[in-house]
Amino acid sequence: MTFSFFQVGLICLSYLSVLFAIAYCTEKGLISQRIVRHPVTYIFSLGIFASAWAFYGVIDLARNFGYGALVYYIGTGALFLFAPVALKPFMELARRFQINSTADLLTFRYHSHGVGGLATLCMALAMAPLIALQIQAVADTIHILTHNNGSSIAMSSQHFDSRQLMALVYCVFVAGFAMVFGSNREHHKGLITSMAFESLVKVFGLCAIGLFAIYKVFSGFDGLDEWLMNNPEHLRDLNTPTSNQSAHTLLLVFIATAVSMPHIFHMTVVENPVKNVTNTLSWAFPLFLLIMALPIFPILWAGLKLGDGFPTEYFPLAIPIASGSPTFTVISFVAGLSAATGAIVAISLAIATMILNHWILPATPLRTHQEIYGQLIWMRRVLIAVVILCGYGFYQILANRFNLTDLALTSFIATLQFLPGVIAVAHWSRGNRNGLVAGLLTGIVIWIIGLLIPMLQDQREVLMSFAQISFNIGIDHWGQLTLWSLGLNTLIFVTVSLATHQSNDEKYSAELCAEDELSHPIRMALDIRAPEELVERLTDRIGESTARVEVDRALEQLGLSASERRPYALRRIRDEVEANLSGLMGISMATEIMDRSIPYKVPEIEGVADINLMESRINEYRDHLTGLAGELNNLRLYHRRTLEELPMAVCSVGKDMEVLMWNSAMERLTGIPSETVTGSHLAEILEPWGELLDRFANSSSAHFYKQEVDLAGRTHWISLHQASIPSSVSYQAEGQVILIEDVTEMQLLEKELMHSERLASVGRLAAGVAHEIGNPVTGIACLAQNMKYETDNEELLESVAHILSQTDRVSRIVHSLVSFSHSGEQQESGFQQVDLYVCAQEAIDLIRLQREKRGQVIFHNEVDESLQVWGDSQRLIQIFVNLLSNARDACENGGNIRVAGTQLQKWAEITVTDDGPGIPTDLLDQVFEPFFTTKEPGEGTGLGLAMVYSIVEEHKGLLDIISPVDKVLQKGTKFVIKLPTALESDATTGNTSRPLSKS
């Protein structure tokens, strides 16, 4: 059964068109985001790990190593099984700092552009055999389909046959796909979805061929058992592999693939579109690998049974061909094609990104007068094509002289040399760039001499001598070369790292990557004051339009405004811009641009911890904290919330006067939200608080008492108190906490009490003056009386009458003043019958003496003149004075105030009514509380109505308030007082005060 080149080409074109369609629909939003961003899609996209070698070459591995071939799945599966520990640190670093490749990771960790360039070179060399493997697998399977012959698949070095042409056309199509869907700066959604589909096709194809082998070749599991019983040597081979290499070395090679292979790192870490997926990944991807491993041995045994002369590695395609099934032949070919395509796309994208970021951009400045994004996209596209075509060139050089397993092991061993440096990124902060470079060069040189050069010279085994020592090299000795290269690499890396000095920048980067990064942050300083300054400084390097786009992008991602001035916010914007530039042009170029244009400065005050940064990071991780860490975080949150909800205004500042905390009481007092002030310097806070707090914090005084500030047009008095926050590791203070106490009410009360004391003094003086005035007025009245009887002159008698009238008026006024001045507590036993009309009139007369207080109002005394109660006349006059004074203050000029009193059985009801605006309903419950007043500061103490309530209680009376009186006009207030009448003695009334009722 054979296929024509046209048919094979049509199959390849159809499959690649499907990949194009899936990627295009994803990019255009035609596929639901629930599917695109689902964790299952991401996990399937990681199936690029299983390249063409996993589909074909692993069969050959199973024949040579028996059960040892399973280490290919066990090694990688074990790494993903511990993904929360092994992979999550790299995922977090990639997400936070926009790390796009293994070279970026090493550059960031070891703070060296040279490390990135060296890593790129080593990765490019290491991936050449792996790309050639994918192309060789496609070319060989095309040859098998078109010739139905697997015994002569070696290429002729003299002629360019049709198979090579098909392989070249295939490379061109794959390059076009990668250039279109893998060159933008964002996560490649279309690429991820198409790679997930590719993995699905691959798994389906491999499982389909496995089932076909069991049921078509062996007629079911019983037939397979019978064949194995008849051929026990095949079961023996599983336990006693024919290869002389150790399966343990294989395990070491494969366990490192997820973190050292650039395309696996790219898809696992960089293209991860789902946050917090590591827990799912830890079991889902090993399950995927298990499904991939299940058909391996049935396919191997079926191929051995059929024995049609095909190479072992192509048994998945040979079995349906030998069985005469075109359907399963096409399924197997498409699955293998899919495996090769996914690997080539991912590898070319990863290598092209590394070359662009670490070779091209540092050596070729971008044209800032042109649009940078387009330049970068086209550079990346060209490099993707170059990488794929170079892989094709390497495939041409090798000319099928090595099988897929040889190519795969050569590539895997090269990438294995990155393992020590990658592990040290998150788990050994002492490692430095000197150790990495020395160790990596040692391992790569051994790999080049021992594997790459013999492969290029078509030699599987070479005997070399060095310093009179002979040893073998070549692919047949890959096990020893693996152990020697990795062992010396690790030894030199550790030794040199311990023996050489680590720079401050490198140490800072190492701490950022370490698991205990939350304990390290030092608050760095920036000499910028606004986001616009970032645009201005970046313009020279990346152009004004690009700089503005990147700064606006960072502001949007952080949810900050362009008017932001807080140092902490500006640091976050700067870091976000650097992270975004890292995603655009690599961390090496981004770091170089930002360090030159907007460098951090070491703070003038040493040891200033960035509390705000630590707080934000803990908030990001708090859902993942468990055990003691979770309990400590809960304790931290409890104490923090205690401070935040404390009813006293509190803020804390660092040694450099940057605000670290601004609690809710502080927000209410100042009117400044916490999110707008946290991270600012004290002096930059809105007035009047900035200057006051900064002056207080920098003073040596622990207290500022009664500082006067103007808030919303009203004067407030505050007292400030501060205390140092001691360091947990030294005797120096890490900052200080400032407490602000609003003492406005106390200050006003003190002023009112002082004013009341002055009034009391004036009252006592007035009483004394009134008493002294009484004697001469009495003398004048006596003289006038004498003159009345000593003359008959009408004019003189009329003058005498006027004199007597005025002296009588003066006497009444003096009597009222003297009576009102007799203050002091009287016991109920001193009560007597009191005429309420007289009390009300005396109160009116006293109020009228205070004409300077308000304009003219009209008082109406409508109390029944016969109405009497049992009580203290002076205390009752005090009631009327307070109520009438409040009523007068509430009325406009020309207003009316009515005092009325009637007899109600055993009670006397007195009402005081005004026609003012009334009392708001929400204030009715507060008007009798001491010190509550609606008047301006200095115009009232808030004690008048409280005193009225107290006096009414002393007289066993009741007090009520009605406001508004006029429900239509919503105006007027009426105070209703009920007192026991004079007919009821204190022994018979037996009344007690009851809660005030309001209507």
Question: Taking residues 935-949, what's their average pLDDT?
Answer: 63
Element counts in the chain: helices (H) and strands (E): 44, 15
Question: Taking residues 534-544, what's their average pLDDT?
Answer: 87
Exposed, middle or buried: residue 128 (CB in 10 Å: 0-12, 13-18, 19+)? buried
Inform me whether the pLDDT recorded for 965 exceeds 50. yes
- Label residue 491 by pLDDT band (50, 70, 90): very high
Can you give the pLDDT at residue 335?
93
Can you give the pLDDT at residue 212?
94
With beta carbons less than 8 A apart as the criterion, state whether 251 and 78 touch: no
- Label residue 158 by pLDDT band (50, 70, 90): very low
Closest CA to 183 of 6, 5, 23: 23
**CB neighbours of 849 closer than 8 A, spacing ≥ 6?**
813
Inform me whether the pLDDT recorded for 985 exceeds 50. no
Which range of 265-269, 344-348, 541-545 scores highest in mean pLDDT? It is: 344-348
- Label residue 315 by pLDDT band (50, 70, 90): very high
Structure token digits, residue 75:
């090694």
Per residue in 812-859, pLDDT (tens digit) is: 666 656 665 554 444 445 678 888 888 888 888 878 766 555 557 888
**CB neighbours of 665 closer than 8 A, spacing ≥ 6?**
646, 647, 648, 649, 650
Inform me whether the pLDDT recorded for 863 exceeds 60. yes
Inform me whether the pLDDT recorded for 397 exceeds 50. yes
Can you give the pLDDT at residue 815?
66
* Percent of the chain scoring above 90 in pLDDT: 16
Can you give the pLDDT at residue 84?
67
Helices 189-212 & 296-306 angle (0-180, nearest 10)? 50
DSSP state of 655: T
Predicted TM-score (pTM) above 0.85: no
Can you give the pLDDT at residue 520?
45
d(C-alpha 957, C-alpha 993), whole Å = 6
- Label residue 23 by pLDDT band (50, 70, 90): confident
Can you give the pLDDT at residue 947?
76
Between strands 896-904 and 858-863, the pairing is: parallel
Can you give the pLDDT at residue 127?
93
Can you give the pLDDT at residue 389?
93
- Label residue 48 by pLDDT band (50, 70, 90): confident
Can you give the pLDDT at residue 185?
54
Can you give the pLDDT at residue 997?
41
More confident call, 121 vs 582: 121
More confident call, 145 vs 933: 145
Cis peptide before 688 (omega within 30 of 0): yes
Per residue in 670-716, pLDDT (tens digit) is: 888 887 788 787 887 878 888 888 888 888 888 888 888 887 777 88
Can you give the pLDDT at residue 93?
78
* Percent of the chain scoring above 70 in pLDDT: 81
Inform me whether the pLDDT recorded for 199 exceeds 80. yes
d(C-alpha 5, C-alpha 2), whole Å = 10
Inform me whether the pLDDT recorded for 488 exceeds 90. yes
Can you give the pLDDT at residue 489?
94
Closest CA to 72 of 262, 253, 281: 253
Per residue in 200-215, pLDDT (tens digit) is: 999 999 999 999 999 9
DSSP string over 460-513 = S-EEEEETTEEEEESGGGHHHHHHHHHHHHHHHHHHHHHHSPPPHHHHHHHHHH
Can you give the pLDDT at residue 942?
53
**CB neighbours of 204 closer than 8 A, spacing ≥ 6?**
331, 335
Instruction: Tally Cβ neighbours within 10 Å of residue 904.
Output: 9
Inform me whether the pLDDT recorded for 627 exceeds 80. no
Question: Taking residues 918-931, what's their average pLDDT?
Answer: 70
Q: What are phi and psi of 359, to 5 degrees?
A: -120, -55
Inform me whether the pLDDT recorded for 157 exceeds 50. no
Question: Taking residues 543-548, what's their average pLDDT?
Answer: 86
Structure token digits, residue 866:
């016969």
Between the CA of residue 770 and those of 312, 776, 784, what are the distances in Å? 129, 11, 20
- Label residue 811 by pLDDT band (50, 70, 90): confident
Per residue in 495-535, pLDDT (tens digit) is: 999 999 888 778 878 877 775 444 445 566 778 888 899 98
More confident call, 586 vs 134: 134
Lowest mean pLDDT among 393-397, 424-428, 479-483, 731-735: 731-735
Can you give the pLDDT at residue 620?
61
Can you give the pLDDT at residue 201?
92
Inform me whether the pLDDT recorded for 983 exceeds 60. no
With beta carbons less than 8 A apart as the criterion, state whether 354 and 120 touch: yes
More confident call, 753 vs 485: 485
Can you give the pLDDT at residue 274?
55
Can you give the pLDDT at residue 418?
92
Question: Taking residues 891-903, what's their average pLDDT?
Answer: 86
- Label residue 149 by pLDDT band (50, 70, 90): low
Closest CA to 755 of 935, 984, 599: 935
Which range of 489-503, 559-573, 638-652, 860-874 scores highest in mean pLDDT? It is: 489-503
Average pLDDT, the chain: 80
Lowest mean pLDDT among 32-46, 307-321, 442-456, 720-734: 720-734
Can you give the pLDDT at residue 986?
45
Which range of 4-18, 407-421, 901-915 scores highest in mean pLDDT? It is: 407-421
